[in-house]
Amino acid sequence: MLLSIMDQCLQIKNRLIEDGVYIHWRISPEPFRINERELTFIESLGAYLHKFYKASNKLYYESVHGRQPSWVSEYLDQGKPQALIEYSRMNRMKGLLPAVIRPDIILTEDGMVATELDSVPGGIGITGSLARAYSFTTKSDIAGGRDGMTEGFLNMLKSAAHNSEPVIAIVVSQESKDYKPEMEWMAGSIRKYGGRVYTIRPEEIMFTEEGLFLNENPPVPPLEKGGKGGFERGFSGERGRRHRIDVLYRFFELFDLKNVPKVELIMYSAKKREVAVTPPFKHFLEEKLLYALFHHPGLKKYWLNELGEETFTLLANLFPATWILDPGEMPPYGVIPGLEVGGMPVTKWSDLKDTTQAEREFVIKPSGFSELAWGSRGVVAGHDISQKVWGDTIEKALMDFNKNPRILQEYHRGRHVEVS
């Protein structure tokens, strides 16, 4: 029997509630539709973005060792604690890359634009739950498959392990607690595939010189028993079966390390190779200013050599033009590469202040390592505010450069999409 639109929406909503991931938003009766060409492009992005991360990782280390300009690593280290900088530079960390890459994609009239990349993204669990809900309710052909997010996440975690049946801990900090329900759902879904994956708080980790451990306590979470709810229970540190953690999925931000219990023990165990941690503790791979380095004309030869012409061209169209709001002195004849207002090159940041609404179609946002750097908290769109507020935003960005660098990025308007 065909369901009415209202019944479809209610079924989808109820599935999300049962999974413990429902947020009070409007439910569409159908998933968002993309065409074959768009799907093919999205599916190809992973390999291109992985090459970008690999080249960015190499660029940082070559800058540190004097084989690329020193200002590259200086920008990426700006405002970071020295202990984290030194940790990320250890030889044993050198080859580690994020295993999850989430581009923030805007569909524009001219194609797709990725405004930023996130290697510690929220939405993994809720996307998996949504895929299942829409697949069951609407019988739609979901991109990646009904269980694609769950299977992909499990395969990613297993690839970081040194054994075939690893114990995996998804560690969610207090600062990231809003995402804990969806990661609990994800862990429960993976256990249905036989994976040993658990979502815990950092304070629940037990440390010995042999490695990191977690306690598994009864009762079995409801999701495994076929009941309702997706929340895990029984990992409160009480006496129970103890499991050594093989892989730790870091679901906490590097700017918040000082507030994460036992983080020193996690980093120590990773340094001693007692546990594999992903994403790695590499601040420089979580900076939006990597886009500015990609577009910098002085580094074009490096990117072409590392990426190849095909990947370079694709990313040049995918990544919006981006600049680092650096208050450093410019020579009188200097211009900021590629930045123009009203057809005239910009020679100093103050040139941007007295712009019309149409001329300031830019956004300013923290590059990273800040509580304002995620969830669009620190994003300011020039065309949405007054000229005075825009000027004040530029001034603040320049004043905060030493502790919290910000970027200026071209704004790209999403295209209007009609759905029936």
d(CA 20, CA 361): 39
The closest of 169, 25, 114 to 319, measured between CA atoms, is 114
The closest of 259, 244, 336 to 297, measured between CA atoms, is 336
Q: What is the mean pLDDT of residues 352-377?
A: 87
pLDDT(341) > 80: yes
**Strand 322-324 relative to strand 344-345, pairing:** unpaired
177-231 pLDDT tens trace: 999 999 999 999 999 988 999 999 999 999 998 999 998 763 344 444 443 343 3
Mean pLDDT of the chain: 92
Q: How many CB atoms lie within 10 A of CB 5?
A: 10
Q: How many CB atoms lie within 10 A of CB 358?
A: 8
Q: What is the mean pLDDT of residues 69-77?
A: 98
pLDDT(3) > 90: no
More confident residue, 4 or 286: 286
pLDDT(239) > 80: no
- What pLDDT does 237 receive? 41
d(CA 380, CA 411): 11
- What pLDDT does 232 receive? 39
The closest of 56, 108, 129 to 282, measured between CA atoms, is 56
149-177 pLDDT tens trace: 999 999 999 999 999 999 999 999 999 99
